[in-house]
Amino acid sequence: MQRIFYLVQKEFRQIFRDPAMIVALFAIPFIQLLLLGHAITTDVKNLDIAICDLDRTPMSRAFTEHFGETAYFNVTVVEDDYRALSGLLDAGRVKMAIVLPRHFQRDLVNGSRPGVQLLVDGIDGNSAGVAMGYLASIAERYQVELLRTDPVLGRSLRHSPVVSAASRFWYNPEMESKVYIVPGIVALILLIITVFLTSMGIVREKEIGTLEQLLVTPIRSWQLILGKIIPFSILGFVEMAVAIGFVHLIFGIGVAGSIWLLFFESAIFILTTLGVGIFISTISETQQQALFVGWFFMIFAILLSGFFIPIGNMPDAIQYLTYLNPLRYFMVILREIYLKGTPLHFILTETLAMAGFGLAVFSAAVYRYRRVLG
Amino acid sequence: MKRRLWAIVRKEFIHIFRDWRTLLIIILMPVLMIVLYGYAITLDMRNIVFGVIDDARTPESRALLEAFSENGFFKPWPHALQRDEIEALFMRRDVHAVLVIPRDFSRLLTTDRRADVQLIIDASDSNVGTFVNNYAEQVLRKYNERNNRGLPLLFEISPRIFYNPDMNSTNFFVPGLVALILMLISALLTSIAITREKETGTMEQILVSPVHAREIVLGKVLPYIALGLMNASLILVSARVLFDVPVRGSLLLLGLMSLVYVFVALSFGLMISTVARTQLIAMFGTLMATILPTIMLSGFIFPIASMPAVLQYVANVLPATYFLIIIRAIMLKGVGLAELWSHALILTGIGTFLLLAATRRFRMRLE
């Protein structure tokens, strides 16, 4: 018992001796949180657009004015020449251009449905799709407004039965992507810190030769493992607690559910990440290798976790693949507790899957580690 | 001069090839990422399950439900549902939304000519929330049009998509991946390679040999330039073969701009290696200063225009931001220097500045 205590003490000394390490441990995750929390957004704002109004009538002007009013679009160019538009797209000055045809108003009034042309830079397909959705709803609103206010056009509307939807958005009434993204980042920080610390901490001892010194002491291999695991899990928990406080302070996103449940689930998750860290250390000779193997694991764990790409959108074969990803379960659990306050019995399946996975990875890693040591 | 330089280059290559695990990951990772991205990643929703509370139970309400189910995007949840069960259903993630049709739905429709239905959406993922809402509005629009032959559609919007007509995410992703990998190899590997020599003490051994500082830097850097450019070509070729990602513009210009960008990344790596004493610190430093901003702030995945103003300023001084604009324009738009000269100029400017600063600092450190 005492031996383990000394090992833990040694590990903490090693970490806190190096000021750069403290920066790496505490400053970096929070810069990350700040950066990612604000940068990762699937909302589209301030999209530069050009408008080419070939009609120049009150109606065409009213139509274009609707785009200047929203936060989605910036009307940066008003162009008279239709042919200049593709040049603007080529140079990347605008991402979208709207062309109102000549006789827009005349055709609109006499019911021959003028066509409004939209030129779209489709390189960023997702943003373009979202922006076209916004544009369609702005156009729709203009149309409804015309039908309501215009005495001639509105006549038919008054006699038609119309159903409309009143939507209510639960858990995220302002519809901000950060509400969903930020709790996910907390999971990422926990993942990154524990995997890298464990794998690189063990490999460094191998690389500089102190591991062999430890091996000739009467310390048993399981004590050695515990001596590594305990400090790194403690650090993981501290990191997590600070992150939760930080998220509350900076982003105003609090934990809706039980914070104890959150920590309980995190403990199960840490079992997996420590296991992965130990496993990486057994297959790497140098810190650089540990870094790259860890990086490799994490990129795929993150991409296939539903962090910013919903798993439900992926093809079936890849969806099955995600069941092997422990981060996938933790992502769901964390967001459920954070946003909805979901109790344990509604996330039991995920918890059990994560626990089973964690136990398997952890025992395999420890087994391998002891064999490598022995 | 030439012989000494060559010796260092060869030594560095031996280091690279000896560590086959790192090499394998560097080569394999981008290709795997392309495959994953090409097949897996789309923000288009499918299979939205919605619960129904139909308090009206009239022919009109049933017709409305029919309209929701028939479009293929929405799937009705097959069980009956009470109002107080909605929360539990959302927590179990059984349904994404619940449609509530009020008791007086049909009456309002005939007397007031207007009736509201309520759509309660689990919006914890705002993206999903938006999609569900948009699709629901689309369904209602169709339903209304079908019921009212006379309802006018005043104008039509016909979009024409340029450069990437299918709005394919692979086309968007691959140029960014090139920028990321070049940064990863040039900045991260260089800084680690130099710090390792410091950590293990071999740097001092080289310093007492008759090699010039200039030759050390060049000898360290050249192999990684070669590795980076090779890897970039591999990405472009595999993206072309697997997913038909085109290079429409000049390959020569693309190569030239990549070289400028590689110099920027190398300068970063050199700079960090002069500060860091251990590999772990070099790694964290490089991740923070180069890799993370390249992924998050350069417009690689998330649009810069949607970020808060402060982050937009940061994005505007990142070399990756300019390189991404350039490489996407060359690959997908097929434009040349006529449209890109200002971005190319800024990138070259940043590159020259950083390279000068880094070599100066590096030489100072060595002497």
Q: Is A94 on the interface with B (CB under 8 A)?
A: no
Do B226 and B13 form a contact (C-beta atoms < 8 A)? no
Task: State the Cα–Cα distance between residues B322 and B85, nearest whole angstrom.
Answer: 51
CB B238: neighbour CB atoms within 10 A?
18
pLDDT digits (tens, 9 = 90+) for B12-33: 888 888 878 778 878 888 888 7
pLDDT of B45 higher than 70 = no
Residue B100 is given by DSSP the state E
pLDDT for B355 equals: 80
Instruction: For residue A46, list chain B residues with Cβ-Cβ distance below 8 A.
Output: 305-306
Residue A118 backbone class (left: φ over 0; alpha: ψ -120 to 50; beta: rest): beta
pLDDT for A263 equals: 92
Residue carrying structure tokens 């509530």? B100
Q: Cβ–Cβ of B129/A175 closer than 8 Å?
A: yes
Instruction: For residue A167, list chain B residues with Cβ-Cβ distance below 8 A.
Output: 118-121, 133, 136
pLDDT for A168 equals: 80
Angle at A290 between CA A225 and CA B274, to 5 degrees: 120
Percentage of the residues of chain B whose pLDDT score is greater than 90: 4
pLDDT for A330 equals: 94
pLDDT of B314 higher than 90 = no
A167: which strand partners?
B119
Alpha helices, DSSP H, located in A110-220:
125-149, 178-208, 210-215
pLDDT digits (tens, 9 = 90+) for B196-234: 888 777 777 777 777 777 787 788 888 888 888 888 888
- Name the residue type at position A11: E
Q: Cβ–Cβ of A119/B121 closer than 8 Å?
A: no
Determine phi and psi for A160, rounding to 5 degrees: -105, 130
Q: Cβ–Cβ of A115/B157 closer than 8 Å?
A: yes
- How far from A33 is each of A58, A148, A246, A272, B352, CA to CA, in Å? 48, 47, 9, 22, 32
Q: In chain A, which residues have pLDDT < 70?
A: 152-160, 373-374
Do B47 and B254 form a contact (C-beta atoms < 8 A)? no
Q: Is A153 on the interface with B (CB under 8 A)?
A: yes
Do A165 and B140 form a contact (C-beta atoms < 8 A)? yes
pLDDT for A166 equals: 76
pLDDT for B1 equals: 64
Instruction: For residue B292, list chain A residues with Cβ-Cβ distance below 8 A.
Output: 32, 35
Q: Is A291 on the interface with B (CB under 8 A)?
A: yes
pLDDT for B23 equals: 83
Residue B367's pLDDT band, with cuts at 50, 70 and 90, is low
pLDDT for A27 equals: 77
Q: Is B26 on the interface with A (CB under 8 A)?
A: yes
Average pLDDT, whole number, for chain B? 83
The complex scores an ipTM of 0.76
Q: Cβ–Cβ of A135/B134 closer than 8 Å?
A: no
- Burial readout B26-46 (b: 16 or more C-beta within 10 A, e: otherwise): bbebbbbbbebbbebbbbebe
Task: State the Cα–Cα distance between residues A338 and A256, nearest whole angstrom.
Answer: 5
Bridging pattern class, strands A96-100 and A115-121:
antiparallel
pLDDT of B165 higher than 80 = no
Do A167 and B97 form a contact (C-beta atoms < 8 A)? no
Q: Which of B126, B147, B150 sits opposite A177 (nearest CB)?
A: B126
Instruction: For residue A176, list chain B residues with Cβ-Cβ distance below 8 A.
Output: 126
Instruction: For residue A106, list chain B residues with Cβ-Cβ distance below 8 A.
Output: none
- Name the residue type at position A154: G
Q: Is A50 on the interface with B (CB under 8 A)?
A: no
In terms of C-beta density within 10 A (0-12 exposed, 13-18 middle, 19 or more buried), how is residue A55 classed?
buried
User: Which of these, A300, A251, A260, lies nearest to A276 by C-alpha position?
Assistant: A300
Q: Is B123 on the interface with A (CB under 8 A)?
A: yes
Q: Starting at the edge strand that comes first in sequence, how are the strands of the sheet with B48-54 ordered?
A: A162-170, B114-122, B97-101, B48-54, B74-76
